[in-house]
């Protein structure tokens, strides 16, 4: 059985993951409008992945005999700047998510909730990957600058994400 405090924390994380999905969907729309189909594809994949993360928390709460309480999802921004600026926002957002998951892991350790620690370890590992991927794209975009041809090449590369 999951504790009430950890259940509440994980319910909050469901909301954060759904917001992440929504944020990346807004970025998908931006890139679609800007005629960057590869960037849009990358963000669309990311949006679906974040939704999947929310559903992992959702299922876990039920698996442990808890109750899920869904909250309203905040509206993401609708206007964005350059691809570099967007990926910097993505990276900052993922750092925030990492901090939240780490906080929940610490709570699970304090409560000696070993199943929660194991589940949250998966998310910690996932966050390392998320941050690494974001930094790689940021570094690439910083290297190429505002070159339209280079941005088109990056766009094609991002379209290959599975």
**Structural domain total, the chain:** 1
Question: Domain range for residue 125?
Answer: 4-158
| Global pTM exceeds 0.85 | yes
Per-10-residue mean pLDDT of the chain, 162 residues long, equals 97 98 98 98 98 98 98 97 98 98 98 98 98 98 95 97 94
Residue 143 Cα to chain centre, angstroms: 24
CATH number at 104 reads 1.20.1260.10
């Amino acid at each position: 059985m999951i504790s009430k405090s950890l259940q509440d924390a994980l319910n909050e994380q469901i909301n954060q993951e759904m917001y992440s999905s929504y944020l990346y969907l807004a970025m998908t729309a931006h890139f679609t409008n800007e005629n960057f189909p590869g960037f849009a594809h990358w963000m669309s994949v990311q949006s679906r992945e974040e939704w999947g993360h929310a559903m992992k928390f959702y299922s876990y709460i039920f698996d442990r005999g808890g109750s899920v309480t869904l909250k309203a999802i905040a509206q993401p921004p609708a206007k964005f700047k350059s691809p570099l600026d967007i990926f910097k926002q993505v990276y900052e957002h993922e750092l925030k998510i990492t901090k939240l998951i780490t906080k929940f892991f610490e709570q699970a350790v304090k409560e000696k909730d070993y199943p929660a620690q194991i589940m949250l370890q998966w998310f910690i590992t996932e966050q390392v990957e998320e941050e690494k991927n974001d930094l790689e794209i940021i570094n690439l975009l910083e290297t190429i600058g505002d070159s339209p041809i280079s941005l088109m090449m990056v766009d094609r590369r991002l379209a290959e994400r599975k």
